[in-house]
Chain A
Amino acid sequence: MENLYLFHPSSYAIGETEKFYSDMAAKGWKLEERGRLLSHFQLSKPSKLRYRVEIIPPKFYEEEENRGPTSEQLSVFRECGWRYVTGHDAVHIFCTRESNNAPELYLEPIEQAAPIKKLRNRYILYLLGALFFFSTYADGLFIHHSFTEWITRHYNWFIENPALEIAHFSVILIYFWFLFSFCKGLIKLSLLHNNLQKGIPLDHSPKSKWQYSKIILFIFVLFEIIGLISYLLSELFL
């Protein structure tokens, strides 16, 4: 197997992301591409690489090919020993060999505060969007039914059609997973921004069990898929 696709930490987990990619490189898996949820690795010889995240939030009017670091930024970073690897949305990854002794991207914590603040503001928008979505769902729900009626109705549906109800319930769980993730991201980025402003540097190797969160999301999505497939099969063959 020469290619590997794995979940990576969320965009707010900057130190965890850097450690994740460095650990993978040490095991012989070099980062090729970062997507929304998954990162693509290619088999290579184990190497001691330092990965660093650079936050470059795209402007909404920017076309896809113009997003990310400018040629000027790539030039300055490259001269200082940092190679651009990949990026998705606001998260862009640079890498250098440990032996290069390249200077850190930011030597004073406060210098990194501005881009972190921009990312934090995006999480405020994500959270507001999720809450607005919930309010429209809950509004329709509770205007026409009480919560007890809602529970009873869904229990009856579960008896009649468990597969579809599992799929429906999985959607709700996935929604709450994202809502929780946005809240966690907002809190973490706010704390990080405050720390950077106080001169406390970002921890590039934090101890964190971020993988469990992604496994939970994977399980919810799996239930969703199994529920939908079971329902469709039951409709086709019964």
Chain B
Amino acid sequence: MVNQGPMTEATYYILLALMKPGHGYGMMQRIRELSNGRINMGPGTLYGVLTRMKKEGLIIMTGEYERRKNYHITEKGIEALHAEYERLKTLVQDGKILEEEG
């Protein structure tokens, strides 16, 4: 299990989007779909986060097609994503007392 601090929202959604390999603009659209339109990401942010995640080994660039760079999540990235998902579930679980207290 990957031991990590909390993930930023941008990182979380990019990793989620890359469960299906994709490219820049396609990723931005997928993130918008996954978040029901809540998350809009600019290309500047996207590139910055992709660069950092490549350095951390969470994603790799798999190739180029029609001048588009394609990305794929790595095993480490999948592990990190699952760890973050479990962490978020725990937070929500622990917060259920808010509903009980009304």
Contacts and interface: CB of A to CB of B under 8 A. Distances in A.
Interface stretch (B40-48, B76-84, B91-99): B40-48
Interface string A95-120: 00000000111111001101000000
A72 B49 CA distance: 12
Contact of A76 (B40, B47, B64): B47
A65 interface: no
B18 interface: no
B68 A105 contact: no
Interface stretch (A77-85, A161-169, A173-181): A77-85
A72 B28 contact: no
Please classify the interface of chain B as helix (H, G, I), strand (E, B), loop, or mixed, using the class held by over half of its residues.
helix
Interface residues of A, number: 20
Nearest to A54: B44
Nearest to B45: A111
Contacts of A105: 42-44
A73 interface: yes
Nearest to B23: A79
Given A103-B42, A111-B48, 16 more contacts: A72-B69, A73-B47, A75-B64, A75-B67, A76-B24, A79-B25, A79-B26, A79-B68, A80-B24, A80-B28, A80-B43, A103-B28, A105-B44, A106-B45, A107-B41, A111-B44
